Amino acid sequence: MQVVILPSSESIGDYAADVILRGVAERPSTGHMNTGHMNYVLGVATGSSPLPIYEALERRWVPELAAISAFALDEYVGLPYSHPESYHSVIDREVTTRLRLDPSKVHVPDGFADDPVAACLAYETAIQDAGGIDLQILGIGGSGHIGFNEPTSSFSSRTRIKTLTPETRRDNARFFSSPDEVPLHCMTQGLGTILDARKVLLVATGEKKAAAVARAVEGPLTSMCPGSALQLHPDATVLLDEAAAAELTLTDYYRFVFDNRPEWQR
């Protein structure tokens, strides 16, 4: 993994926006080698960590952004789409509207489907049909989860129903009027689905994330820290502020690598 430590969440947003805008600009000339699909496909995440990325993309909006497709990582099960905290609503507010995307090209797992198992399969198929995800944005939960892949998630899992841990439900209670209102179940892209993205950008800020970040980046590969699965990804970058980087041990080396990165990586 490439670890990049930046001074603020604004600079993290700008750094990520650079990478995304570069990818979008390159797409028309390269296309997908195997499928011929031309649209850039962005994997989007909810939570507060990625918000500076969407803000930066909104500020630096270019018409090419309107043509991209987007796939969200996860959704609560049983929350109506119109609930303000359903990820359908959050993605609509924070991503589709800000980036002026075509709503018909923005996909969120269907946690309100009559047949959730079929909906999970259909989500995997839709990602494949779009040509796969070019860049997946990720946050990380205190439990080390990415998407809603809670500890013990299989590294080869695909989109499926999971039960949220009490810790995640407590963390997310801030978005609901009472902790009991937080759904018990969710639908999430699997770790295998996430590992299939061509590029991954994980964003974490603040001291509350320091332990999970250290386990994901420098700890052993373990389903007890689902974020550690990213060590298997060939092109994963972790964007951190100083507080989120505080428990890493190779910080000096990460800074050295970043300061001496070759011209083509800048």
Beta bridge partners of 44: 72
Minimum separation from the CB atom of position 266 to ligand GLP (A): 27
Minimum separation from the CB atom of position 27 to ligand GLP (A): 25
**Among the residues of 98-233, which ranges form H helices?**
116-129, 166-172, 191-195, 210-218
116 binding ligand GLP? (CB under 6 A): no
> Site residues for ligand GLP, window 191-230 (CB under 6 A)?
none
> Site residues for ligand GLP, window 163-182 (CB under 6 A)?
168, 172
DSSP 221: -
70 binding ligand GLP? (CB under 6 A): no
Q: Which is nearer to ligand GLP, 39 or 200 (CB)?
A: 200
Q: Which is nearer to ligand GLP, 53 or 130 (CB)?
A: 53
Q: How many residues bind ligand GLP (CB under 6 A)?
A: 14
According to CB under 6 A, which one of 16, 73, 101, 119 is a site residue for ligand GLP?
73
Contacts of 240 (CB under 8 A, 6+ apart): 3, 4, 5, 6, 12, 203, 204, 205, 213
DSSP 126: H
DSSP 109: -
According to CB under 6 A, which one of 1, 20, 24, 49 is a site residue for ligand GLP?
49
86 binding ligand GLP? (CB under 6 A): no
Contact 5, 242 (CB under 8 A): yes
Q: Which is nearer to ligand GLP, 96 or 168 (CB)?
A: 168
Question: For the range 251-260, what are the long-range contacts, defined as Cβ-Cβ under 8 Å and sequence gap of 24 or more?
Answer: 251/5, 254/3, 254/4, 254/5, 255/5, 257/2, 257/3, 258/2, 258/3, 258/4, 258/5
Q: Which is nearer to ligand GLP, 131 or 226 (CB)?
A: 226
C-alpha 70/C-alpha 64 separation (Å) is: 13
> Site residues for ligand GLP, window 131-150 (CB under 6 A)?
139-141, 147-148
Minimum separation from the CB atom of position 67 to ligand GLP (A): 25
Minimum separation from the CB atom of position 161 to ligand GLP (A): 14
Neighbours of 41 (CB within 10 A): 24
Q: Which two tokens stand for residue 17?
A: 């926006």
> Site residues for ligand GLP, window 89-108 (CB under 6 A)?
none
**Which residues contact ligand GLP (rule: CB under 6 A)?**
45-49, 73-74, 139-141, 147-148, 168, 172
